[in-house]
Amino acid sequence: MIQLVQGAYPGENIDIIDKMFRLRAKVFNDRLGWDVKVSNHREMDQFDELNPLYVVETDEHRNVLASLRLLPTTGPHMLSDVFSELMEPEDIIRSPRVLESSRFAVDTELLGHLPNGLSTVTGKLLCALLETARAAGVDFVISVYDVRMERILRRAGCGFERLCQPRRIGDVLTVAGLCETAAAVTDEIRARNHLSGSIFADPRWMTSLPIAA
């Protein structure tokens, strides 16, 4: 199930958000060794203070399988404020029709027993991200990621395209990429991962979800 949670107003999903911050600490600090701030076993940065929209995939026990964070590119975001060295200043993206996805994390321990677990969970999360964005009138999602992510994304049926040359930042070969929210893209992800029907927990969201791009 996919939950959409407003960072500053998690309501009854506060437990899910807390588990997401713990997952992020496990993934980005413990496993990948990124230069991130962890306190009390939770990873958070300044962008979490800006009331982002979290897209979170949970199992039936409300465990967090995977999550990501969405920020509007019209406001402060990672490519403009943290990774601006990847692009020329006039290439910085400021558009109401472009969202930025960041902090993509998957709990690989929870997936251990699932066949194609990583690809399926990744596919569902990306599909939710793109369908959400499309319903809101957004055409593109950009992201800054480790080039090693590209293989995982492709396997899930979602090719991001590079917007710049990869650069080594710290220990990570980093690149900015782009994905379109068009129905053709989500159809491909759905087909590849055998997803059908609504993948959202809140049916209210689906009532206003345009199907056509």
Partner 1 sequence: MDEAFCAVVEAGEEIRSVTDAHFFLEKLAAHYGVDHLAYLGMNVPRPEENRPVFVISTYAKEWVERYRARDYQRIDPVLPESMKGILPLDWRNLPPLRPAAVRFFGEAHEHGVKKQGLSIPIRGAKGDLAIFTVNTDLPAADWEGFKQRNIREFLLMAFYFHQQVMALEGFSSAADIRELSRRERDMLWWTAEGKTTKEIALILGLSDRTVRFYIENAMTKLRCHSKAQCVAKAIRIGAL
Q: Does 62 participate in binding partner 1 (rule CB under 8 A)? A: no
16 or 99: CB nearest partner 1:
99
Q: What length does the chain have?
A: 213
Using CB under 8 A, count the residues that bind partner 1: 43
Q: Does 76 participate in binding partner 1 (rule CB under 8 A)? A: yes
20 or 98: CB nearest partner 1:
98
For the CB of residue 58, give the shortest distance to partner 1 in the complex, in Å.
20
Cα distance between the two ends of the chain: 23
What is the C-alpha R_g of the chain?
16
Rounded CA separation 17/114 (Å)? 23
Question: Which residue in 90, 151, 165, 196 binds partner 1 (CB under 8 A)?
Answer: 90
- Both tokens of 63, joined, read 């465990």
Q: Are strands 140-146 and 98-106 parallel, antiparallel or unpaired?
A: parallel
Q: Does 166 participate in binding partner 1 (rule CB under 8 A)? A: no
CB 70 within 8 A of CB 55: yes
For the CB of residue 100, give the shortest distance to partner 1 in the complex, in Å.
10
Q: Does 12 participate in binding partner 1 (rule CB under 8 A)? A: no
Q: Does 186 participate in binding partner 1 (rule CB under 8 A)? A: no
Q: Does 139 participate in binding partner 1 (rule CB under 8 A)? A: yes
Crossing angle for the helix pair 183-193 and 117-135, nearest 10 degrees?
160
Q: Does 99 participate in binding partner 1 (rule CB under 8 A)? A: yes
